[in-house]
């Protein structure tokens, strides 16, 4: 499944599926395979004719082949590799017992970009839905966030969401798994995202972003299983998203559109003017690339260089024209677009307010 705004539903479906790359439910190898009985996981319960998993990782079905993508999160000295944050952060915030840390613009993430190593690729950027600064700790988290922030079905995105420490400690004890601890203080574990939707009948969803190469590490597998059990108890779907579920073209398009999507102060008259202007140009030049049409408007309308492209990006970012995000924006032509008059009306109404 490729992750993009149009198929956010796929995440929920994946969370409840019977298998697949995003399903974290326990499973074992079936039938005969070259697994060595001597390496069978303790307590696997395998019988004759059944192959046993080598490790807890295989028993829980998290194994994945190596990835050629080199994007990896870096951790400096003193940071904890299991996403609990730095030891100092854990001691400062160890009193967290699970009250709701807020919603929307009032939400406070448990981990801020300043809390992690400066060697890692972290990002801070404003959200168009929450109107607050979001703290993202990897390129993969950025890709997922931009996808969610663009989806019209998503209402709130809470990154670095803390789990109740007493619950994760109990679950770890029940499963016989280690739980992060520093100087006698149990670490607070976090999920990368907790996402809410506009439909009150649709459940929230918890997302963990993991590069596929990390899914081979036993300590990561144990941490993921603990997290999965935690959200299972809460009745909230939980999924893993790797770099393989993110369309590179769609991500590049969203990165290009995002600054316009996050911009709040847009003049209503200008938005309506350029919509009509582009509609006329699209009818005249259905096979010309949008970038060329924008350049032509700059010249013919005696506008400043880049002004027409600026308004085109505003219209596309606000869903006034719809297009397939898997088509690079530089290759788009008018025939690739569909005018969305309903969304245009909503945008003009919101600007007017």
Q: What percent of the chain has a predicted confidence (pLDDT) above 90?
A: 37
The answer, yes or no, to whether residue 36 has pLDDT greater than 60, is no
Q: Give the pLDDT score at 3.
A: 57
What's the rounded mean pLDDT across residues 13-18? Answer: 45
What's the rounded mean pLDDT across residues 14-20? Answer: 41
Q: Is 340 left (phi over 0), alpha (psi -120 to 50) or beta?
A: beta
Cβ atoms within 10 Å of 275's Cβ, excluding its own: 22
Mean pLDDT of the chain: 73
Q: Give the pLDDT score at 8.
A: 54
Q: Give the pLDDT score at 18.
A: 33
Cβ atoms within 10 Å of 191's Cβ, excluding its own: 22
CA separation for the pair 30, 316 (Å, rounded): 48
pTM exceeding the 0.85 threshold for the entire prediction: no
- Segment 77-121, tens digit of pLDDT: 333 334 444 444 443 444 445 556 789 999 999 998 888 764 457
Q: Give the pLDDT score at 339.
A: 85
> How far apart, in Å, are the Cα atoms of 142 and each of 37, 236, 284?
42, 22, 38
Q: Give the pLDDT score at 67.
A: 28
Cβ atoms within 10 Å of 108's Cβ, excluding its own: 12
**Confidence band, pLDDT 50/70/90 cuts, at residue 160:** very high
134-160 per-residue burial string, b: 16 or more CB within 10 A, e: under 16? bbbbbbbbbbbbbbbbbbeebbbbbbb
CA separation for the pair 162, 10 (Å, rounded): 24
Range from 63-67, 124-128, 326-330, 343-347 carrying the lowest mean pLDDT: 63-67
């Amino acid at each position: 499944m490729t992750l993009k705004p149009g198929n956010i539903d796929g995440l929920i479906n994946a969370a409840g599926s019977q298998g697949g790359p995003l399903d974290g439910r326990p499973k074992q190898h079936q039938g005969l395979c070259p697994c060595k009985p001597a390496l069978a996981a303790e307590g696997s319960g395998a019988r004759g004719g059944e192959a046993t998993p080598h490790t807890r990782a295989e028993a829980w079905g998290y194994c994945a082949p190596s990835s050629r993508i080199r994007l990896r999160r870096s951790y400096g000295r003193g940071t904890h590799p299991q996403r609990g944050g730095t030891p100092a952060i854990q001691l400062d915030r160890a009193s967290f017992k699970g009250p709701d840390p807020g919603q929307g613009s009032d939400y406070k993430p448990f981990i801020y970009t300043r809390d992690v190593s400066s060697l890692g690729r972290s990002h801070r950027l404003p959200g168009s839905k929450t109107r607050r600064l979001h703290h993202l700790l990897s390129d993969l988290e950025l890709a997922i966030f931009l996808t969610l922030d663009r989806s019209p079905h998503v209402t709130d995105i809470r990154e670095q969401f803390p789990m109740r420490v007493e619950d994760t400690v109990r679950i770890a004890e029940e499963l016989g798994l280690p739980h992060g601890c520093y100087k006698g203080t149990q670490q607070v574990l976090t999920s990368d995202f907790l996402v809410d939707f506009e439909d009150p009948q649709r459940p929230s969803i918890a997302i963990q972003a993991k590069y596929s190469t990390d899914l081979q590490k036993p300590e990561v597998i144990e941490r993921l299983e603990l997290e999965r059990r935690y959200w299972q108890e809460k009745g909230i779907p939980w999924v893993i998203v790797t770099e393989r579920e993110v369309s590179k073209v769609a991500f590049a398009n969203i990165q290009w559109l995002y600054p316009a999507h996050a911009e709040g102060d847009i003049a209503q008259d200008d938005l309506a003017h350029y919509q009509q202007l582009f509609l006329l140009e699209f009818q005249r030049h259905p096979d010309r690339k949008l970038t060329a049409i924008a350049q032509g408007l700059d010249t013919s309308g005696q506008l400043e260089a880049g002004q027409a492209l600026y308004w085109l990006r505003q219209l596309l970012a606000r869903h006034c024209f719809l297009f397939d995000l898997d088509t690079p924006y530089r290759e788009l032509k008018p025939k690739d677009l569909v005018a969305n008059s309903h969304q245009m009306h909503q945008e003009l109404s919101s600007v007017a307010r």
